[in-house]
Structure 1
Amino acid sequence: MRPWTAVPPQPGRRFVVTGANGGIGFQVARILGSRGAEVVLACRNLEKGEAAARQVPGYDAGRVSVRELDVSDLGSVRAFVDAFLDEHDGLDVLVNNAGVLGAPYGLTADGVETHFATNHLGHFALANLLLPRIRDRVVVTSSREHRSGSGLDVDDVNWERRPYRVFAAYAQSKLADLLFMSELQRRLTGAGSEVRAVGAHPGASSTNITSGTGNPVITWIGYHGQKLVSMPAWRGALCTVYAATMDVPGDTYIGPHGRLELHGWPAPARRSKAASDPVLARRLWEVSEKLSGVTFPL
């Protein structure tokens, strides 16, 4: 497969990228900025966000900004949306990128398990709250590991009735992302909206996503293991950029084209049988609405 780096020019288009102070999110912001886009880095840590923003092309021209957002906190999500809409008439693309992997068991301020809250629920709320002002698409970031999340129990997202397994919690949150993408597209289509919901995963990319595990051994193994076997983060980010900028239909899922979707250039990715289950997707949506207090606005 031929390498793909031909990102279309993006002048006049506004993107919000969550978790953009490092890893895949930063590389997505950097690539978009290099193509003339206006980019809002939505970050939990403003200091790190500002440091990252200064490295994004377009910063000196005023096309790059930073706003505070902790997607694990629904209050922070609502505050971000209110502040963003006070300053902007809307946006073209929302890139739901922020995430955690390997976090020890814990509940957020809203009483939701950390992986589910961060990787899915906060982005569910963010997308629906912004949806009336989104002109083009919502991009959801999943993982090839979603295939290990087939045991998703939408009635026990806090693992109160099951023994907690940290990597299963991650996999199931990433399965939730794909179910959200598909159900969002079904609702957009039903509402007659031209907005698209699409998804991507970065394959095996070298980032610091394991830094929040709380376990120094897992963090060390994760960081150095990725350095040995993974693509550079910018290569993995191309899958998200492809999903965010190319003319693909709704419910498209993009990942690396190579063996096991670990490495390679953007191409259609496989999803598990569970990720294509419309009944599970609708049930997840209902639970997500109840937990977040946010509903489909169209």
Structure 2
Amino acid sequence: MTAGPGFLVLPWSDAEVSEARGGMLLRGGALLGAVLVICMAAMRKWIGGGVCRSGERLDGKTVLVTGANTGIGKETCRELARRGARMVMACRDLSRAERAAEDIRKSTGNGNVVIRHVDLASLHSVRSFAKDFLDSEDRLDVLVNNAGVMMCPKWLTEDGFETQFAVNHLSHFLLTNLLLPKLKSSAPSRVVTVSSVAHRGGHIDFSDLFFSSRPYSPLQSYRQSKLANVLFSRELARRLRGSGVSSFCVHPGVIWTELGRHVEGRFPLMGALLRLPAMLLMKTPWQGSQTSLYCAVTPRLEDQSGSYFSDCAVKEAAPEGQDDVAAGRLWRESARLVGIKETC
């Protein structure tokens, strides 16, 4: 290799230079990849949020979870079954529920996992379920109001109620009230109601709860129902003070589960584009179950009855969720709609 004056003469051929450059690019790419993996792992840990650290056992206790055959409901059941609880899985689809129950029995070694049918879009079904439970079960230590629907079209239940408000709030309101005798006789006991951060910005329109007069908005309906969960849990705690029954409301986190199927159905292209980043940036169902688990089993939590939890810690609910006047009014209206006396 020759060069004019002032040029450095390198002892490498063009092929060797090219190979050296390629090696540097490979090492740089590997380093960048390692940094991305570390960053992604750190982000996933941060997104995962709090984890229930309590080792509390539930041997001899009975736990009821609604919407238990999939998503965070199933993972909540699995974690509670690991602790020795008798699990009652309340589900609409019995064939899917039995597959989920068998999976939980095998993975936990707890054979005391049973399924019961309930359709939360039917008050008659809720009443039948509650009667059967009261007649057949000796106790109820924890009730997890977990089932829900999100941003579905404007559907009406057989009772003539808008579906999101009916399934997410009214049916759980009725179920909890019907099971209170068993919860009280099993005290200390707990009610855990799964809400959402979406309660922020929600509004209870007492003049038009079912969107009969105003244009229907799936998002506003969902927010209204999730705010109702927060207010119900708060009012339940107030009414049950001194009874030995505690009430907690939880935000499980943003989770990619079947709950979002209506969003994908309405916006299929958006759903397809967001699926991969959503899987990376949202919690897993197991991670989403942790706050429900925390409120179900953590000792000495009774003093926090009526509180709102997220990531296994007490958080401040939105101002709308701390309105005791609205909470009392919602209780009375809900009792009227489902046909029960308003006092616990």
Verify same fold: TM over 0.5: yes
Residue 340 (structure 2) aligns with:
294
Q: Would you say 1:71 and 2:126 are equivalent positions?
A: no
Correspondence for 1:200: 250
Do structure 1's residue 31 and structure 2's residue 84 form an aligned pair? no
Distance 2:123 2:99 in 1: 25
Q: Residue 89 of structure 1: CA displacement?
A: 2.1
Question: 1:98 matched to which residue of 2?
Answer: 147
Deviations 1:166-202 (A, max 9, x none): 111101100000100111111112xx41111111111
| Bigger mean CA deviation after superposition, 12-21 or 247-256 | 247-256
AA matched with 1:144: V
Q: Which amino acid aligns with 1:38?
A: R
- 1:11-160 matches, cutoff 5 A: 11-57=59-105, 61-134=110-183, 135=186, 136-149=189-202, 151-160=203-212
Alignment partner for residue 238 of structure 1, among 290, 314, 318?
290
Q: Which amino acid aligns with 2:319?
A: K
Whether the aligned pair in 2 keeps the contact of 1:11 and 1:37 (CA below 8 Å) is: yes
Aligned pairs (5 A) from 1:245-284: 245-246=297-298, 247-248=300-301, 249-256=304-311, 266-284=312-330
TM-score scaled by structure 2? Answer: 0.78
Task: Please show how residues 156-195 of structure 1 align to structure 2 within 5 Å.
Answer: 156-189=208-241, 192-195=242-245
Q: Which moved more, 1:160-169 or 1:15-24?
A: 160-169
3-state secondary structure, aligned to 2:237: helix
Q: Residue 19 of structure 1 contacts residue 97 of structure 1 at CA under 8 Å; is this kept in 2?
A: yes
What is the CA-CA distance between 1:57 and the residue it aligns to?
Answer: 3.9
Note if contact 2:73-2:146 (Cα within 8 Å) is conserved in structure 1: yes
Among residues 266, 286, 290, which one is paired with 1:215 in the alignment?
A: 266
Q: CA deviation at 1:215?
A: 2.6
**How many angstroms does 1:221 deviate by?**
6.1
SS at the partner of 2:73? helix
Give the distance between the partners of 1:29 and 1:285, measured in 2 at CA: 28
Unaligned runs of 5+ in 2: 1-48
Aligned residues with identical type, % of pairs? 40
Unaligned ranges ≥5, structure 1: 257-265
Q: CA deviation at 1:294?
A: 2.3
Q: Would the alpha carbon gap of residues 278 and 37 (structure 1) be closer, same or farther in structure 2, given more than 3 Å must change?
A: same
CA deviation map 1:17-74 (0-9, x unaligned): 0000000100000000011111100000000100100111477653100000111210
Q: Assess, with a 3 A threshold, how the Cα gap between structure 1 residues 2 and 275 changes in structure 2: closer, same or farther.
A: closer
RMSD: 2.0
TM-score (norm. length: structure 1) = 0.90
Change (3 A) 1:172 1:62: same
Q: Is the 8 A contact 1:128 1:296 kept in 2?
A: no
AA aligned to 1:252 is S
Question: 1 or 2, which has the higher helix percentage?
Answer: 2
Alpha-carbon distance in 1 for matches of 2:201, 2:273: 20
Rg: which structure is higher?
2
The amino acid of 1:146's aligned partner reads H
Task: Give the CA deviation at 1:224.
Answer: 4.9
Residues 1:2 and 1:176: Cα distance change in structure 2 (over 3 Å)? closer
The one-letter code matched in structure 2 to 1:33 is: A
- State how far apart, in whole Å, the 2-side matches of 1:76 and 1:2 are: 35
Paired residues, number: 286
CA distance in 1, matches of 2:217, 2:152: 10
> Displacement, 1:83?
1.2
CA contact (8 A) 1:128 1:295 kept: no
In the alignment, the residues of structure 1 paired with residue 260 and residue 90 of structure 2 have an alpha-carbon distance, to the nearest angstrom, of 20
Q: Is the 8 A contact 1:17 1:42 kept in 2?
A: yes
